[in-house]
Structure 1
């Protein structure tokens, strides 16, 4: 039976947190509707915002990002079209949220990992290092985000440097360098975030987006701030809570992280179980401990069996990848299709902030861009002057025009 004809899964969730600095925030909303008033169009949103240099950006993003993403989606789409339009709407929503927060003149910043669950389809958009992993029933653990840490991400280091930023470690008396790689000015360890106007706009809010479809076996998502991931690998986090219901699973992941590393940072975890509606399938239980002799005798056999099983599962498509894109170039992320940039009033609208534009006001996202794949600079989507300036600043074509108050 194909996923399109299957019943919608049951979504269960749990969360747990331990605060040290009070800068982690999260969002859980399970009653969103693609079509207002239509209960069959319900989808869920789960998000984590790990703030730094204060909590203002995390709070602002929690309160505004969802509305900005939904506002960038065209009206009247069917479910499949809506899911296909999500990646572009997520990019627009992230950039609009960043632009609005920076206009307030505050220097706080935040990561954002934003997860939309619609039926068996999971769409994740992220900036920063608040990771989301998928532990599918019967499949391999996978990561649905990319860590935007300068220390670990070579591509992001090269992009920041090419856009005018400097990357280096903190220098102390005597010239010694300590700690992780940071971007200067500002000293931020991340290459993408929302806010952080004091760092420079080459620290961009353009998210990595991945969309997957689960099989009817379902699976588990673990979404957490770096207080978890600095202590536990993806595999450790997933395996530590297998067999537990979502609420207990989230507590167990936090407990395991604290046991491993102590409370050195805010530590927040959301666990989401996407399970068949009849609930006949329980989460897999933790493996039983074996004595060493038995482990040696059966290691080869079990490894071969697991390998064969993995091939069979991948053949039937346990997790189907629908979309993945991580480019930091706005022209690439918004595409060439200008059919969705018309407002209900018949005017053009800005593809990022959704303001109405007269035909003479819109500037193509591709105009003058050496990164554009379009040979038609008059082709949409279109940007207002403010969003065009924002785009140029993110690509290092001009200094950031926003000054700290």
Structure 2
């Protein structure tokens, strides 16, 4: 009887997961080759490269890879902290027991929650450094890229064309972000040297940061937000090449130049050559870091990379360079054109109420008594709806989830300019 009781004490879900882990690990669909190179001036660039990470899902065990670039400023503390904590914060925001398609669909929301939690936790350490982040998760043929700052991620699929998977949050070039900051209580202008003379790029004041989004930077006001632009695409089965680089590369080379200068090279040599070309063109004025990733079908020789540029359909060019009206809606897994790059999701709003909305294919994406950002338990009656205070909530009601704890609600309100940040600045690069 005791043996029988011991056997019954093991939940069925645990036994199933053990069987899946031991016997049913899916074979990877793709070969991922990568290389990185860097030239340092300040020592504030950091990278994260993790391949063949395993996870147990509701329908089996699968693998994914993670690539991250963290370009720090005003010190390296924020970049190091984000490198060490961001992935875990993203994964903790994904519900358990999702199948593969649901897991991929959950990534855009989880990335938003993970970025905000990482920023919130780091700022509690009262350190004033900050970091840009470009963060990519590769699951099969699906690439999900989240970005804050001015590092850049580009894709050249095997069928040709250049697609931009990240956003540039430099105030000099992003008018939408300038409007957002000024409407939230910040000021945007150039450095005033006295006598009315203004020099340099546009900056956010207080603080003097040239970027509108980052992780950290507690000394420049909370209208510099950590909410990332997220883009998700599905490659064709022919694969492609990705270049993920800090601004030290993109200040010197265009996307076309970066791809052309390393064409035919394996990833490690390609990354080294891109960095070399960048430094030769502009000199080593900043940390210059490059990650090159080739995603190839299993049957394709590992050394095969895109060898020539081919014209891309005008329709595809337009959807990757200009956001469509339906770009923030997840597309179902039946794709009409399986042999070209597919855009699955894109959204860049800085509003958490829009980024964590309930209009989603997963009914269990957000649990009732768990904060959607920091994942702490919320007592009944203490959770605050992400939609609270909206002037035009539509069909949403104040008691509809997802919910935030009081601390994350304060963070949300500060980022939206609904309360005055008490963080003053002493200046940042």
Task: Return the TM-score normalized by structure 1.
Answer: 0.88
Query: How much does 1:285 deviate?
Result: 3.0
Query: How much does 1:202 deviate?
Result: 0.6
- Is residue 144 of structure 2 the alignment partner of residue 123 of structure 1? yes
From 340, 349, 373, the counterpart of 2:365: 340
Query: How much does 1:241 deviate?
Result: 1.1
Please name the residue that 2:189 is paired with.
Answer: 168
**Contact between 1:165 and 1:183, CA under 8 Å: does it hold in 2?**
yes
The separation in 2 between residues aligned to 1:185 and 1:84, in whole angstroms, is 38
The separation in 2 between residues aligned to 1:266 and 1:248, in whole angstroms, is 19
The separation in 2 between residues aligned to 1:39 and 1:75, in whole angstroms, is 12
**Contact between 1:129 and 1:147, CA under 8 Å: does it hold in 2?**
yes
Q: Which runs of 5+ in 1 are unaligned?
A: 288-305
The separation in 1 between residues aligned to 2:395 and 2:125, in whole angstroms, is 34
The separation in 2 between residues aligned to 1:373 and 1:271, in whole angstroms, is 44
Query: How much does 1:138 deviate?
Result: 1.7
Query: How much does 1:140 deviate?
Result: 0.4
The separation in 1 between residues aligned to 2:290 and 2:392, in whole angstroms, is 37
Alignment of 1:197-216 (within 5 A): 197-216=218-237
The separation in 2 between residues aligned to 1:173 and 1:313, in whole angstroms, is 48
From 283, 306, 320, the counterpart of 2:342: 320
Please name the residue that 2:22 is paired with.
Answer: none
Q: Secondary structure at the match of 2:219?
A: coil
**Contact between 1:25 and 1:48, CA under 8 Å: does it hold in 2?**
yes
- 1:187-245, CA deviations, whole angstroms, 9 ceiling, x for partnerless residues? 00000000111101010000000000001110011001000011011111111111000
- Is residue 239 of structure 2 the alignment partner of residue 218 of structure 1? yes
Please name the residue that 2:283 is paired with.
Answer: 262
**Contact between 1:349 and 1:382, CA under 8 Å: does it hold in 2?**
yes
Shift in alpha-carbon separation, 1:202–1:42, aligned structure 2, 3 A = same
Q: Secondary structure at the match of 2:118?
A: helix
Shift in alpha-carbon separation, 1:107–1:7, aligned structure 2, 3 A = closer
From 353, 356, 376, the counterpart of 1:355: 376
Query: How much does 1:157 deviate?
Result: 0.4
**Contact between 2:240 and 2:306, CA under 8 Å: does it hold in 1?**
no
Please name the residue that 2:248 is paired with.
Answer: 227
Shift in alpha-carbon separation, 1:371–1:68, aligned structure 2, 3 A = farther
Shift in alpha-carbon separation, 1:226–1:23, aligned structure 2, 3 A = same
Count, aligned residues: 378
Shift in alpha-carbon separation, 1:332–1:313, aligned structure 2, 3 A = closer
- Is residue 125 of structure 2 the alignment partner of residue 104 of structure 1? yes
**Contact between 1:103 and 1:402, CA under 8 Å: does it hold in 2?**
no
From 250, 256, 259, the counterpart of 1:238: 259
The separation in 1 between residues aligned to 2:288 and 2:29, in whole angstroms, is 32
Query: How much does 1:317 deviate?
Result: 4.4
Please name the residue that 1:389 is paired with.
Answer: 410
- Is residue 306 of structure 2 the alignment partner of residue 284 of structure 1? yes
Q: Secondary structure at the match of 2:145?
A: strand
Q: Which runs of 5+ in 2 are unaligned?
A: 1-25, 318-336
